[in-house]
Chains A and B, each alone.
Chain A
Amino acid sequence: MARRHILFLIVLGLSFLALTWPGLALLPPLKPYILGLPAPLAWILSWLVILFLALLILFLAEGGEGEEGG
């Protein structure tokens, strides 16, 4: 398995822990509010962004490879 795939799987595993237990469980239920959203909701939103960036980096690292394959 390529190193970038291993790294990505680590990020994916971390995001699962961050978005369920223990990540979400450790946060205060409401305060502080970020962009008007309670802390857990803002936390989830930021992990959406992290996952997006991780996928984007993976995609760019693979370049246009695989296009029109087969």
Chain B
Amino acid sequence: MSGPGAELWIPLGYLALVLTVGLLSARKTTRSVTGFVAGDRAMNVLVLYFVLGAAIFSSFAFLGAPGWAYSRGAAAYFILVYGALGLVPMYFLGPRARRLGQRFGFVTQAEMLAHRFRSPALSVVMAVLSIVIFIPYLVLQMKGAGFILEVVSGGRIPIWAGALLTYTVVTVYVFHSGVMGVGWTSMLQGIFMMILAWGLGLYLPQALFGGVEEMFRALDSEGFREALTPPGLMGDGRPWHWPGFASAVLVTALGFSCWPHFFMKAFAARSDRAIRMTVVMYPSFQIFLIPILLIGFAGILAYPGVSPADTILPHVLINASLPAWIVGIACAGTLAASMSSGDAILHAAASIGVRDGVRPLRDRPLSDAAERRVIRWLVLVMASVSYYFAVWSTVPLVDLLVGAYGAVAQIMPLMLAALYWRRATPAGAMWGLLGGLGVNTLFLVFPELRPWPVHEGVYGLVANVGLLVGLSLAGRPMAEGHLGEYFRAMGSGRGAGAPDA
């Protein structure tokens, strides 16, 4: 076998480029916690657009999504549909949160909720929830990176080494530059991913079938009509059903903007306008899932029997006799997807761990410099723990992420109550969240107990909203002085409309 060619030099060069950009991006922010966690609240539309876009497009988009198209047919449309709806809540919630952050100094979602409900315990619950869902998410990204490098290197770079290399780069720039490292690298990674998705997604059907329509016609005549009929197939190959599809869309779309690493970027935005414009422009990011799905569909007839299904993209890369430089770019693009989500998660996990988990439990507040130092070291700890799981655990890629959405969606009622409903009380908020998480977990672990075949998150949401509204109405309202200050701060942006009563 000859030495490594372009298929390996391109991703390695790309890693070096990302590292350089990541390290350079710290120059403009202050050396404060707000600088490290929220970029001094100065992110403009361009950076915000790429941060939010790239954070969503993770290893799941490049490995999981084509895997769904490959093994579950039209069920993969689910990924397009929830994404289309998922960022919309941010248009309304984001600017309100941003103004509160500016007035009270919040940099995380839990800080905002804990302040609104005067409940440090709520912040600790949110911190624990965040870490519990972040670790598997990060592990997934590391595995994705290690896996793609192993495949294109023909095994010369084993998974452990590929994940180590990629995530050393990520850890170094997150440690050094904080959120701005995430921001500027996301721009680079986002552009790279778009080029890859469109290039490969349109090239493969053309090369293998002579066109996209021809590919679908071939699938139709080869007996794949059932798989291609929405809502497609379930993971086990049986036909999916509409209650399952629609409820999964609902829960996932509600959870989308609630992801703590995602929502906290509202505090990094420079203006309300920056947040709103980002949401408006977001579908331009979403559309690039279409060519990615085409890659998966192209694999059905060309490469039958690939297992597990989420290895179809690398399988196609290796077997489609593509030029080495295309394989190299595709590999770098997949790394971009992994890193641009992994860095946001890693950064958020450390920030949230310290701000929301440790701080409320201390009698004496940390100094700003000490807090920044602790957050940075927690970046290293989180990266190491996740790396340990990535190399040693054997949990399948997609299931973890799909399971997390039911839990994340339970934050949505809490945010709506915090930002729109003055009558909501601390007891309602806390028990709503805990009840929702409990019920969601129950039906996730014991799916046979579900009375109807809908997503476990729906049951969690029903319990959540019931407890939130019931306990709030049954209890005493919170002090008017506190609420007044809070809702005034939220409405202080011109054009926000009157604060809701």
The interface of chain A, by Cβ under 8 A from chain B, is 2, 12, 15-16, 19-21, 24-25, 27, 29-30, 33, 35-38, 40-41, 44-45, 47-49, 51-52, 55-56, 58-59, 62-70
Contacts and interface: CB of A to CB of B under 8 A. Distances in A.
Nearest to A49: B283
B384 interface: no
B283 A52 contact: yes
Interface of B: 74, 77, 80-81, 84-85, 88, 91, 95, 98-99, 102-103, 211-213, 216-217, 220, 225, 228-231, 242, 245-246, 249-250, 253, 270-273, 276-277, 279-280, 283-284, 286-287, 290, 293, 489, 492-497
Contacts of A69: 95, 99, 271-272, 492-496
B489 A70 contact: yes
B220 A30 contact: yes
Nearest to A2: B497
B273 A70 contact: no
B248 to A, nearest CB: 9
Contacts of B283: 48-49, 51-52
Contacts of B80: 41, 44, 48
Nearest to A29: B229
Contacts of B495: 62-63, 65-66, 69
B213 A44 contact: no
B246 A21 contact: yes
Contact of A15 (B85, B102, B228): B85
A59 B246 CA distance: 28
A66 B493 contact: yes
Contact of B494 (A49, A56, A66): A66
A24 B230 contact: yes
Contacts of A35: 212
A24 B77 contact: yes
Contacts of A37: 212-213, 216, 290
Contact of B81 (A20, A36, A56, A64): A20
A55 B89 CA distance: 11
Given A44-B80, A48-B287, A63-B495, A20 B74 contact: no
B356 to A, nearest CB: 23
B272 A66 contact: yes
A57 B283 CA distance: 15
Contacts of A30: 216-217, 220, 225, 228
22 contacts: A20-B249, A24-B230, A27-B230, A29-B230, A30-B220, A37-B212, A37-B213, A40-B77, A40-B230, A48-B286, A48-B287, A56-B280, A59-B276, A63-B495, A65-B496, A66-B272, A67-B493, A68-B271, A68-B493, A69-B272, A69-B495, A70-B492
B228 A38 contact: yes
B266 to A, nearest CB: 13
Given A16-B249, A29-B230, A51 B84 contact: yes
A15 B253 CA distance: 12
Most buried by B among A20, A58, A63, A64: A20
Nearest to B216: A38
A52 B83 CA distance: 12
B172 to A, nearest CB: 34
A48 to B, nearest CB: 5
Given A40-B77, A51-B283, A20 B242 contact: yes
